[in-house]
Amino acid sequence: MEAVQAVRGMNDILPEQVGWWQGIEAAARKVLENFGYREMRTPVAEKLELFARGIGESTDIVEKEMYAFEDRNGDWLALRPEATASIVRAYVQHGLHGDSSYHKFYQIGPMFRHERPQKGRYRQFHQIDAEVFGLDGPMIDAEMMHMVSLLMERIGISGVSLNINTLGCPKCRQVYREVLKKFLSDKGDGFCEDCMRRRETNPLRVFDCKVKSCAQLLESAPQLIDHLCEDCRAHFEAVRDHLEKLGTPYAVNPRIVRGLDYYMRTTFEVITDRLGAQSAIGGGGRYDGLVRDLGGPDVAAVGFAMGLERLVLLLEQEKTKPVRSPLCFFASLGDQARASAFLLSQKLRERGVETEIDYEGRSLKSQMRRADKSGAKYVLILGEDELARREVQLRDMLTKTQRILPLDTILETLETIEAEKFNP
Ligand code: HAM
């Protein structure tokens, strides 16, 4: 019978790869919690309307990439393509704004976008996402980017760059829209069909276009950064000043417009040249109007998300794979010894000692092969003779030396070894 395959673009993360994931997630949690972010977990499906209103009807994500479906009640739902809109919804729905002037949340989990899969781009992918509500000053923008740089360092990724830009506020955007519209219509009909449409509906989105000829035409396009109002210019200058004082390296890149409509003022991306076409490892920015537009209070907001798959791909290029091995493998010979080894193994595990055992009564040779493959540091060997003498052999797999221990003290002995592993 033919075996069922996973959905294209949705990947299994197998035990041999999961070490990367656990390492990144642990580093992210540590850094985020140090900066005062608290975890929130929202559902993977939301009402379709949330993303249409939140991300923008004329963005690629909403227009082309959404996993939208009608459920059995006739409600239109979507698998979340990102976490920001969901976190805003939860913040508003649970009235979380009431109990403090500002809030910091984070979420780690799967997102879904129906894009064409390639290296670094999948249909189910995972994000580390962080959001702050209630702070409109430039300090938090800079702190967030500084935190992202620290996070990359803690994860163990080097050679990435932080690109920053500002998209101004609705006031300067209004002016810029007209300037850009004029530029686009002066360029004539050389743009692709999508861009011709965007020219009318949402001109800023032309910068998302992946068609080469459009990108060429846009090279000489006017830039928003040259059309900022006084307040937005001052905000951006202050963000840059904070970054410099924090010692966080960055480059201003006026081309960073982001693929989502909610941004204003600061935007940023962490990019690499080591992942081919998928150069963005993470991105984010300020989105002050969104909470209000989704029915909440008029509070400022800023956030970012990083793609876990892309972080893993980078780590694989730089580091050796983390492997998880038990501290000890319990080998036994004979039915009675196996029964004792079985019981003692459970006791070791209860005491926090990672232990593997033989369940099947295999030959000692085959058990030793398995122990070797598992990477266990110690092998306990219990035969019927040892059992009769209430003894057990402890083999150090690294030094290949063996000693005999009283069976009744092995729990304590291994517990001490396990503790020394953490406090050598
Ligand atoms: P985004 O730039 O759309 O922003 O996604 C953030 C990151 O998610 C990307 O830089 C990339 O690493 C990863 N990513 C996106 N799509 C895929 C994909 N198809 N396959 C693999 N990885 C992918 C956001 O999602 C915003 N919500 C970020 C944000 C939070 N802004 C404010 N708060």
Residue 133: what pLDDT?
98
* CB 59 near ligand 1, within 6 Å: no
Residue 197: what pLDDT?
87
The alpha carbon of 168 and the centre of ligand 1 are apart by a number of angstroms equal to 21
What CATH number is given for 15-157+263-318 in this structure? 3.30.930.10
- Nearest CA-CA partner of 111 in 123, 95, 101, 121: 123
Architecture of domain 328-422: 3-Layer(aba) Sandwich (3.40)
Is 424 a residue whose pLDDT tops 60?
no
The tokens of 304 are what?
Answer: 């970012």
Range from 88-92, 93-97, 157-161, 214-218 carrying the lowest mean pLDDT: 214-218
- Nearest CA-CA partner of 128 in 304, 316, 261: 304
Looking at the chain, which residues constitute the CATH 3.30.930.10 domain(s)? 15-157+263-318
Is 201 a residue whose pLDDT tops 90?
no
Residue 69: what pLDDT?
97
Residue 271: what pLDDT?
95
The tokens of 82 are what?
Answer: 């990102």
Is 227 a residue whose pLDDT tops 70?
yes
- List C-alpha distances in Å: 274 to 128, 145, 157: 20, 21, 11
* 421 confidence band (pLDDT: 50, 70, 90): low
- The protein residue whose alpha carbon is closest to atom 33 in ligand 1 is 303
- What are the phi and psi torsion angles at 26 (to 5°)? -65, -45
Which is the closest atom of ligand 1 to the Cα of 282?
Answer: 10
Average pLDDT over the chain, rounded to an integer: 93
Residue 320: what pLDDT?
78
Predicted confidence (pLDDT) per residue in 147-177, tens digit: 999 999 999 998 999 999 999 999 998 899 8
Once rounded to an integer, what is the mean pLDDT over residues 116-141?
97
283 Cβ partners below 8 Å, 6+ apart?
A: 256, 258, 267, 268, 269, 270, 304, 305
The alpha carbon of 289 and the centre of ligand 1 are apart by a number of angstroms equal to 20
The alpha carbon of 411 and the centre of ligand 1 are apart by a number of angstroms equal to 48
Residue 418: what pLDDT?
77
* CB 131 near ligand 1, within 6 Å: yes
Predicted confidence (pLDDT) per residue in 33-77, tens digit: 999 999 999 999 999 999 999 998 888 899 899 999 999 999 999
* 268 confidence band (pLDDT: 50, 70, 90): very high
- List C-alpha distances in Å: 49 to 61, 80, 360: 13, 11, 55
The alpha carbon of 83 and the centre of ligand 1 are apart by a number of angstroms equal to 9
Ligand 1 pocket test: pick from 32, 127, 272 the residue with the most ligand atoms within 8 Å of its Cβ: 127
* CB 283 near ligand 1, within 6 Å: yes
Which is the closest atom of ligand 1 to the Cα of 61?
Answer: 3
* 423 confidence band (pLDDT: 50, 70, 90): low
* CB 106 near ligand 1, within 6 Å: no
Q: What is the CA radius of gyration of the chain?
A: 28
Is 269 a residue whose pLDDT tops 60?
yes
Predicted confidence (pLDDT) per residue in 4-43, tens digit: 999 999 999 999 899 999 999 999 999 999 999 999 999 9
* CB 282 near ligand 1, within 6 Å: yes
* CB 395 near ligand 1, within 6 Å: no
Is 381 a residue whose pLDDT tops 90?
yes
Residue 324: what pLDDT?
84
Is 389 a residue whose pLDDT tops 90?
yes
* CB 309 near ligand 1, within 6 Å: yes
Unique residue bearing structure tokens 């209070």: 297
The alpha carbon of 147 and the centre of ligand 1 are apart by a number of angstroms equal to 17
Residue 215: what pLDDT?
86
* 384 confidence band (pLDDT: 50, 70, 90): very high
Which is the closest atom of ligand 1 to the Cα of 120?
Answer: 21
Looking at the chain, which residues constitute the CATH 3.40.50.800 domain(s)? 328-422
- The protein residue whose alpha carbon is closest to atom 8 in ligand 1 is 307
Predicted confidence (pLDDT) per residue in 395-410, tens digit: 999 999 999 999 989 9
Is 266 a residue whose pLDDT tops 90?
yes
- CA–chain centroid gap for 304, Å, is 10
pTM, rounded to two decimals: 0.91
